[in-house]
Amino acid sequence: MEIIAYGVLADERPLLEAAFDAAFPGNRQLRCLDLDLDRDTAPTAAGSEIILSSVNDTLDAEVLRQLADNGTRMIAQRSTGYNNVDLRAAGRLGLTVTRVSYYSPYAVAEFAWALALAVNRRIVRASVRAREFDFRLDGLLGRDFHGRTVGVLGTGKIGTAFTRIAHGFGMRLLGCDVTENPECLALGMTYADRYRIFAEADLISLHLPLLPETRHIVDAAALDLMKDDAVLINSSRGGLIDTDALVAALRAGRLDGVGLDVYEEEAGLFHLDKSLEVMTDDTLARLMTFRNVVVTSHQAYFTRDALDQIISVTVTNVRDYLAGRTGDNTLVAPEVSSPATTRPTPSITSPRRKR
């Protein structure tokens, strides 16, 4: 049984290989590739029944068709998000699709706060100056977060972890979600509509899934409502922010700072070395010119604890597929229980929404 994992990072590879060696001793051949899966690279999966995909892979209808035609029957997404997978097409093709519905929320929440602090206290600029032995404090003035208002859009597991840290800073807590989280309410959070949060919050952090109703939830109108000295943090999904509108707001001298671990056009860029190439993405290049913007390469989840959990769940998903089982991590599954059946009638499950 050959399994191919796409978009595997250098630090991830030994952990992934060790986990599959232990789970399937002598009964699997795991190939780890650092390239992303798309229309051009899909032929490399020929003959592989199981694919381990990453969030940067393009799994549209055409790619899924190529995979199915070449023998793939299962796609195990190594992330919580799955907006890069055409689930309806997967269902039509009789593919099983799973995801990692849960891993350490602290990894992302802590990184979101690292971005917030780096932006507010100008830590990146200060570090660059210090390396050049420039120890002036000009332009490095920040603010206390204590006593100020934080707006948390999305209070699932990650949003709740972020809120606990905000509570520790002594901040006033505002939250927005389709349902109120008892844990956040116990911390003193007030739930409000997003327009109030945009208008009142000094710090806004996004912890939402990317869905049609959340795409560009931070658009020009939302940015117009924000305080001129607000800080905006996105460690969730790039498509939550209208990047062109954000650039326009920054050009107008608005917002005290922005921290982005994700970018709506990051596919084909993030996790790759583009340092020797011409940057053809004009919007991203423009973002990089603002001194009050910090951009990182979708690394909020990237802790040993989170990777161990992601890999463990992925192994479980593969085991379940081979045993003909489905579970909370299953996004699409054939109606029959045996994976050996060719092209069964598919069904799409309704996974619980998690962040």
pLDDT score of 280: 92
Enclosing H/E stretch for 96: strand 96-98
Quote the tokens at residue 261: 């671990």
d(CA 332, CA 336): 12
- Please answer whether residues 85 and 75 qualify as being in contact, where contact means their C-beta atoms are separated by less than 8 angstroms: yes
Secondary-structure class of domain 105-295 per CATH:
alpha beta
CATH number of 2-103+303-348: 3.40.50.720
pLDDT score of 335: 61
pLDDT per residue of the chain (355 residues) written in tens, 0 to 9: 789 999 999 999 999 999 999 999 887 789 999 999 999 999 999 999 999 999 889 999 999 999 999 999 999 999 988 989 999 999 999 999 999 998 999 999 999 999 999 999 999 999 999 999 999 999 999 999 999 999 999 999 999 999 999 999 999 999 999 999 999 999 999 999 999 999 999 999 999 999 999 999 999 999 999 999 999 999 999 999 999 999 999 999 999 999 999 999 998 889 888 999 999 999 999 999 999 999 999 999 999 999 999 999 999 999 999 999 998 999 999 864 334 333 333 333 333 333 3
Note the Cα 298 to chain centre separation in Å: 7
Break the chain into its structural domains and give their ranges: 2-103+303-348, 105-295
Quote the tokens at residue 120: 């507010």
Which amino acid, 160?
T
pTM score, whole prediction:
0.87
Catalytic residues: 237, 266, 298
What is the chain's alpha carbon radius of gyration, rounded to the nearest angstrom?
22
pLDDT score of 336: 43
* Residues linked to residue 259 through DSSP beta bridges, in sequence order: 233, 294
